[in-house]
A and B are shown apart, each in its own frame.
Chain A
């Protein structure tokens, strides 16, 4: 039977089964004529609350305020507002406005009528501050970066005599602004129609590397992206079945198509004075998705999903170089189709038995028109004539499992997963990943649950075609995602609740990866993890928690640069620790909370001739955070809250430490430092609540 026949059968069955299911069980409805609900405190009226205050950070910087926007030593306004209005007829309005004084502000306003329609407007700001201590000699913006007048080019950054005087600060980071409009209309009979229009503006500056052959420079590149997404859809469901169909169109637009930058080095060829780098091209994604599900007899259910995506672009291309006489080869007719089909079955046919399985098929067809282009390498020298490659694949995935509760205290289970991928234009044509596992759930006492899982995973490869390797690539290389693999793994989970107020949890995992046929590339990997949690809630007013974890990852990879076997090796050991503890307490009008979190990472990198490895300085990060919060309810309507946050972050990174703009002979860098901060933050806010009842508060 072909896959198409299978899909036809699946669709037929899915459509047939609901009709049959309708004929099955329909429980008798009670007489509800006397169900007045007279004691039900239905809500109508309005409630609102406003929080206003100030946030004062000390010694804040970009890494501290990365996602909040609190990155300056200044006073920030702490302003939130929430409200809820509802009529007895079911009309309602709801708004949540948070962090209005910060770049990370969010807002959502919803209007509607129960059971009929809803409309929502939303905004979310998402800053991503990365560096505020980077420096560059480049001037200008948009798509053109120039060097200051009087610039002295040289063969190395150290020789650029005007460099030190030309450096000025440039912040690296972006800000996303997400605007949304969503609407839903409940048509009746279980049907709904919905639609949304969303816009995301992402602006800022990012680090972009570029080079003139082996002379490299880090550029402060502009980010001016806009993504508009429109979606419409319809859905239907009843107690046993559901359908959902959506269409969406997403357009990505980059306001800066290319970045031109002056060559700070002595040009390797006389005319190589300027470089040009293509920034992400405008693109469009059109997506259709269909989902259906139904309940089947014997406590079973099935669902079907189908998805079709079309990715396109037709951006005008730059000339192959900035050298005189270079002509653009036109535009690239990019056209990729993605398809996804899946069928899921789940069943609990008899008490204690749980069966589940899924078959899915994914396909990527790159129908882009191939282009053959004679390259000019980094705007300097003629290179090879190369034809673009279309990467296609088909991916079948089957997974399933069965669990059976043998006794009240023991559940056993097995499962398997197989993924087969056929690719084009890649050195390995076929990979088949398989995983087989067994697991146990032990519940010797109701307070104790232990989960154990163990298994093996393998990857087999076929169809290796060394002719597809890039020129001068070592034929012994095995790209690790396409290499034969054998993995052993084991997982442990346990929860114990010796009393109603105490709970403990433990999770651990262990895995060993062996790339046994790999001579050059990643040859082995191992991971160990352990996490533990503790919770104690002696009273409703008092609770404590603590948790901690450890993780170790080790990889071994071999490389070579001339011989037919591995000559050098890299041994990488990464370790992580984390711990946190805290509690909450309320008493009358008083509330307090405390949290301490600690996280440390360490990374050892040893590289060298096999048997004679040299160690890099240890990579390390250390994060400590103490949060204290106290609140006092002066009246049911007025609350004052004081928050104190101490955060300390320190890191050592051999790739960044001591690397200034002129340190390296072949890189004019932005001098990005390893992240560090030591911040004390105090926030004082007043919360006032008003309306006809207690407004829902933002979860804290």
Chain B
């Protein structure tokens, strides 16, 4: 009994330690954004200031890179969602043998180091005279982000009840109408998730982008440059904004999830009540014996 208590205490202590390990560096990084000291640090504390935020907001080069990141992110979304969806629909229709072969090829970009995706994209397009830049970055990132999207769509499609499709066909819908009226609405939540994930992946990508961005820059590339050369707490100010956005998004997501759960519970309750008021036979008594 006591040994169990010690073990439980130890486990909880470890979890707390682990959370500190995950979060403390970020907290310190964020805190240093307010230190007057001209290099990013919390020790020694030279007094609070907001000047690093002012410098951040006036950093034209960085904002230009941010614009590039958004352009690339948008391009990646536009390409990787249709590709991922096509890939998932393609695999679902294959026999199991062909499926595992194609599956291996289509998830391989996830299992390939990002630098190699970047290099192969660069080398391939170079033969057509296209050199590094925003276009090539979109292509390179799309290569592996499509795989992520495909996995998301596959997971959702596996829960799709094929009889819905057949019901729609049976009611006279064309294959087109079936897809746009039945399958696509079913996939809608996944499309939204996939858009979010594709954008995040694109926005934060470094290893692939490094090889295909050419003379252009993205926010991540720019931050890496700032971190490696000439470091000021401007980076910390940026990091703080990032962390703020992340935490807000995470909490919003969690709240939405709980609201959704409540909504489902209410629906279930409604269905139960409908059951309780069991249907009275409409015209059943009119049945000729």
A, B in one complex: no
B interface residue numbers (CB < 8 A to A): none
